[in-house]
Amino acid sequence: MRVRKLIAAAALLALVASAGSWVSKSAARTKSDNDTTKRLDTAADVMSEIMASPDKGIPQDLLDKSICAVIVPKVKKGAFVFGAKYGRGFIVCRKQNGRGWSAPAGVKVEGGSFGFQIGGSETDVVMLLMNQSAIDKLLSSKFTIGADASVAAGPVGRTSSAETDAQLHAELLTYSRTRGLFAGVALNGATLRPDDDANKDLYGNPMSNKDVVMGSVQAPPSAARLIGELNKYSRRRESE
């Protein structure tokens, strides 16, 4: 009888330990989902505030010509490694017919010259991809700005009349905002790679960025604000 009681007690302890582990993993999963949702909302805020800025936003005609947009809110400048920079954001592309925007896919950005104005520790980064070649490279795997695609600081204002020759031929136009100051800045040397964890949070299963933004994946409800902001300012792509 005593042996049976000991066996039962051991089984109960194992069950409790297993349940505790499941609860811990479930809580971590919920926190990860919430973090991804918060980043989507912050990315929507970035687009809204930048485009609403009088005479300082991304030129409307350039946004209309872009094929994809990468929005990375709150890129951080790490203190643990001098000059290290890191951020997580999203890439969204035009649908195949040029109308509306795809579901978002996660991206990570690291390193590079981010132009942190007046010593800011966090910077919002926006990139416009202007041709298919740049998109194919970006969606393949790790991608280095300036090496895998030509880049230029994007002009600001209501129109792109201030474009230089470099901007006219760049595959990427890049911008940053720190403490409310918004400007074009060439993010040379920065690397972008897929954020597989964010994609799993959004879609429940591992998915490649190419499958998300170039396929017919349904955008999750948490992405509605970001897609809504992009549609508000540029619902349809203009051919170059």
Note the pLDDT of residue 176.
86
Beta bridge partners of 191: 110, 144
Mean per-residue pLDDT for 16-33?
A: 50
Note the pLDDT of residue 122.
79
Mean per-residue pLDDT for 213-234?
A: 94
CA distance 146 to 74: 22
Note the pLDDT of residue 110.
86
pLDDT digit string, tens, across residues 1-24: 565 554 555 554 554 444 454 444
Average of per-residue pLDDT values in the chain: 80
CA-based nearest residue to 137, from 150, 153, 149, 125: 149
CA distance 104 to 199: 9
DSSP character at residue 145: B
**pTM of the full predicted structure?**
0.81
pLDDT digit string, tens, across residues 144-168: 888 888 888 888 887 766 566 657 7
Beta bridge partners of 89: 107
Band (pLDDT 50/70/90 cuts) for residue 189 is confident
pLDDT digit string, tens, across residues 65-92: 999 999 999 887 654 334 457 889 999 9
Note the pLDDT of residue 16.
42
CA distance 116 to 97: 37
Q: Which amino acid is at 158?
A: R
Q: What is the 3-state secondary structure (H, E, C) of 84-128?
A: CEEEEEEEEEECCCCECECCCEEEEEECCCCCCHHHCCEEEEEEE
Q: What is the DSSP string of 147-176?
A: TTB-EEEPP-SSS-TT--HHHHH-SEEEEE
The winner for highest mean pLDDT among 96-100, 125-129, 130-134 is 125-129
